Amino acid sequence: MRRQFSIARLGQRGEGVAPGADGPIYVPYALPGDVILAEIEGMRGRLVEVVAPSPDRIAPFCVHFGSCGGCAVQALAPRSYADWKRSLLVEALRHAGMEPEVGNLVDAHGRGRRRATFHARFDGGKPRVGFMRARAHELIDLDSCPILAPQMAGALAAAHALAAALRAAGKPLDISVTASLTGLDIDIKGHGPLGPAELQAAIEVAEAEDLARLSNDRRVIVARHAPIVKIGKAEVAPPPGAFLQATEAGEAALAAQVCETLADARRIADLFAGVGTFSLRLAERAPVHAVDDDEAALAALGKAARSAPGLRPVTIEKRDLFRRPLGDEELRRFDAVLFDPPRAGAEAQAAALAQSAVPLVVAISCSPQSLARDAALLVAGGYRLLSVTPFDQFRHSPHLECAGIFRRESTKPRRPLLG
């Protein structure tokens, strides 16, 4: 059914939202204040025409905007965009019963994304590589992406070449590309083990595209150069598929706040430490105990810590913090704790921290909802949420990085309820 109506607000996924007879209608690429013509099916709408544009509508800079689902809100004016992005965090905290000081949105896009995952699909043996259409299973074939950092310039060409080399199997692929100081580092997922011919074809692509390293499901196929990233004073060689912050500017901004907040700490625990994004910087001032379940990431962290000049001791511990969080007895060694978990958050560890006497806690999250849930546990246990800052390293998308600072107020922890 085709209808004309006005858009009232932006939803959490960056879609325009309008009231409907049976509930809200969500329309990708529509903005508050737009009068639009849309094809309606249930709660979903497809934008057909902007009949009267919002005063906040600006021209998008990417030719693929409106089809590619990678960017939701390129057409929203910067001030309104910043207000909407910050509101995602404000509303998540409010929903969890908290209204702390929320800082202004920090622009952490910098020169662009240094990592991206491209999808490859095959139609009659012909590969297509790019991102998915918004709320659809259709893939948009791309040859460029303007939100990528300059050092990712060859990423799409390499992804296309790898998809062509592996097209015989016809399996959907995820091709994760990370820029390093020594070249592109690529990890392929979805294909399974490579046969001899496919292996040779992949190696030839790595040579032709001058890749630093090529891996298949985190198993190295060829390492022409060790991929290196700079973290503080240290040079780190991450394992295949290792997590890094999406932009260099985002990592620097988060690390600056973490280091400033924990400047006076004498012994720090960095939980979900990964390859040492924060550990290696914090160790410039204080001993750090880094904990993670990824043995390869910890090995890279440890090697970098031993090689970097002037660092205080960095100890490492392999541990599944979801199943076995650090408890009160272990946490007594630290006067500050930082945790930066995956998107699902750190519910078990936050509950354990709430029962501890650690004076200062910093929580990093790429999900406002997860941060709000973990924050509620800490607050219920006697911590005060001093401030929260949103960092926008996922520009034009609904994804948001957040950092919360907590200080223990009550001397006797209260037992929070897990919900």
* Architecture of the domain defined by 2-57: Beta Barrel (2.40)
Domains of the chain, by residue range, sit at 2-57, 84-109+244-408, 115-229
Position 415 scores a pLDDT of 57
Mean pLDDT along residues 271-285: 98
Token pair belonging to 268: 């720090």
pLDDT tens profile 365-393: 999 999 999 999 999 999 999 999 999 99
| CB-CB contact of 289 with 247 (8 Å) | no
- Please tell me the predicted confidence (pLDDT) of residue 378: 97
Please, what is the angle between helix 155-165 and helix 196-208, to 10°?
160
pLDDT-based confidence at 100, cuts 50/70/90? very high
Cα–Cα distances in angstroms (integers) from residue 166 to residues 158, 175, 210, in the given order: 12, 12, 18
Q: Please give the full DSSP string across 122-189, using - where no structure is assigned.
A: EETTEEEEEEEBTTSSPEEE-S--TTB-GGGTTHHHHHHHHHHHTGGG---EEEEEEEETTEEEEEEE
Per the annotation, the verdict on 145 as an active-site residue is: no
Q: Which CATH architecture has domain 84-109+244-408?
A: 3-Layer(aba) Sandwich (3.40)
Residue 417 pLDDT greater than 60, yes or no: no
Q: What percent of the chain has pLDDT over 70?
A: 98
84-109+244-408 against 115-229: fold identical: no
- Mean pLDDT along residues 278-298: 98
Span of 222-231, 263-272, 404-413 with lowest mean pLDDT: 404-413
Q: Is the pLDDT of residue 416 over 90?
A: no
pLDDT (0 to 100) of residue 289: 98
Residues 130-163: pLDDT tens digits? 999 887 788 999 999 999 999 999 999 999 999 9
Q: What is the DSSP letter of 240?
A: T
In this structure, which long-range contacts are made by residues 224-231, counting pairs with CB atoms below 8 Å and at least 24 apart in sequence?
A: 224/183, 225/182, 225/183, 226/182, 227/178, 227/180, 227/181, 227/182, 227/183, 227/185, 228/180, 228/181, 228/182, 229/180, 229/181, 229/275, 230/181, 231/275, 231/276, 231/277, 231/280, 231/281, 231/304
- pTM for the full predicted model: 0.94
Which residue matches tokens 């929903």? 95
Q: For residue 412, what pLDDT is reported? A: 56
Residues across the chain: 419
- Please return the burial class of 124, using the count of CB atoms within 10 Å of its CB with bins 0-12, 13-18 and 19+: exposed
Q: What is the mean pLDDT of residues 50-69?
A: 95
Q: Are 129 and 123 in contact (CB under 8 A)?
A: no
pLDDT of 329-354, one tens digit each? 999 999 999 999 999 999 999 999 99
Element of type H or E holding 369: helix 368-380
Give me the residues paired with residue 184 across strands. Answer: 179
CATH number of 115-229: 2.40.50.1070
pLDDT at 218 over 90: yes
User: What's the rounded Cα separation, in Å, for the pair 76 and 84?
Assistant: 10
* Mean of pLDDT over the chain: 95
List the catalytic residue out of 68, 71, 145, 366.
366
Mean pLDDT of 388-411: 94
Can you give the pLDDT at residue 22? 87
Q: What is the pLDDT of residues 61-90, one digit of tens each?
A: 999 999 998 899 999 999 999 999 999 999
Hey, what are 66's tokens? 């409106």
Q: What is the pLDDT of residue 419?
A: 47
